Amino acid sequence: MYPIKFNPILKERLWGGTKLKTLFNKPIESDITGESWEVSAVKGDISVVANGEFSGKTLQELIDLYPNELLGKHVYQKFGADFPILIKFIDAREDLSIQVHPNDELAKKRHNSFGKTEMWYVMQADKGAELIVGFNKNVTKEEYQQHLDNGTLTDIMNYEKVNEGDTFFINTGKVHAIGGGIIIAEIQQTSDITYRVYDFNRRDKNGNLRELHTEQALDAIDYQKKDDFKVSYTKSENATNTMVDCPYFITNYLKLTQNFEKEIGSEDSFHIYMCVKGSGTLSDGKTELSVKQGETVLFPAICQKLYVNTTGMELLEVRL
């Protein structure tokens, strides 16, 4: 096995734009492309290999053929053949809906699925761009419903102005929304379950209001105000800086100004590298791939080392 690139899975969204093409050169044809799924094993949207001898095979086929070599033994023991995370780039031209994701217990019970814990890394933000993350005060379920009914939900939402490099951890139950003018690298559990609670009364291209999941969301929401979402992390150059370490994924930040190498084989996990700035080459010592901003590479667990050749590159490193 060798470092793998996948063909991006591009998603049109009501709130999407064109930055995935203009900034990252993704092969989009629509001017409302909101998401590029970089590494996915979501049923119906499974990534296809773009390079090397496995070109044309799906991620799921590789897992079925080489589970320990690709995932890592302890990952395979824990998750079986279900790839546990989903990697995306998101271009929000307009505000996304205000939404919430269920935890593992509720998702399993209702949808036979993982929950959806996720994190965001802001790659680009227009001046004044904001995210909604949680409530600005403690509320009861009844107060929340009253604001929802009155169309005043935004009055109790917490708004955060953002800049490039800002990082947010969105645990299940936290009501949230990505604001317009932001590009995000998103790392999440493998799940496409979202409860949409408010959509600014927007209509789709056919003039219809989009479906809301008001009742389902009620039991999924954490109604407490919590300041646990902004991630502070070191940005030491040419070193591994831990950003998020949770049961579902570990994400590190690598700011590289020179050639770099790192032992990764002892961690018994696949490693995913998202290039969030700059360019260079990534290699396991045998296969070398050129990588630029907005591209993603999967290093199977069997790869022992990461070699980077660059004069300037920023990577998010994701593993279990």
What domain range is 251 assigned to?
Answer: 239-319
118 is in an annotated binding site: yes
205 and 247, same domain (yes or no): no
91 and 186, same domain (yes or no): yes
Structural domain count, the chain = 2
147 is in an annotated binding site: no
206 and 254, same domain (yes or no): no
Per-residue pLDDT of the chain (320 residues; tens, 9 = 90+): 999 999 999 999 999 999 999 999 999 989 999 999 999 999 999 999 999 999 999 999 999 999 999 999 999 999 999 999 999 999 999 999 999 999 888 988 998 888 889 999 999 999 999 999 999 999 999 999 999 999 899 999 999 999 999 999 999 999 999 999 999 999 999 887 889 999 988 887 788 888 889 899 999 999 999 999 999 999 999 999 999 999 999 999 999 999 999 999 999 999 999 999 999 999 999 999 999 999 999 999 999 999 999 999 999 999 99
216 and 245, same domain (yes or no): no
101 is in an annotated binding site: yes
Last residue of a domain, one of 201, 231, 261: 231
15 and 88, same domain (yes or no): yes
Last residue of a domain, one of 212, 231, 250: 231
Last residue of a domain, one of 185, 213, 231: 231
Which pLDDT score is estimated for 104?
85
55 and 90, same domain (yes or no): yes
247 and 286, same domain (yes or no): yes
The CATH number of residue 209's host domain is 2.60.120.10
301 and 175, same domain (yes or no): no
187 and 68, same domain (yes or no): yes
149 and 217, same domain (yes or no): yes
153 and 291, same domain (yes or no): no
| Residues that are catalytic | 196
Which pLDDT score is estimated for 201?
83
Contacts of 200 (CB under 8 A, 6+ apart): 95, 97
224 and 293, same domain (yes or no): no
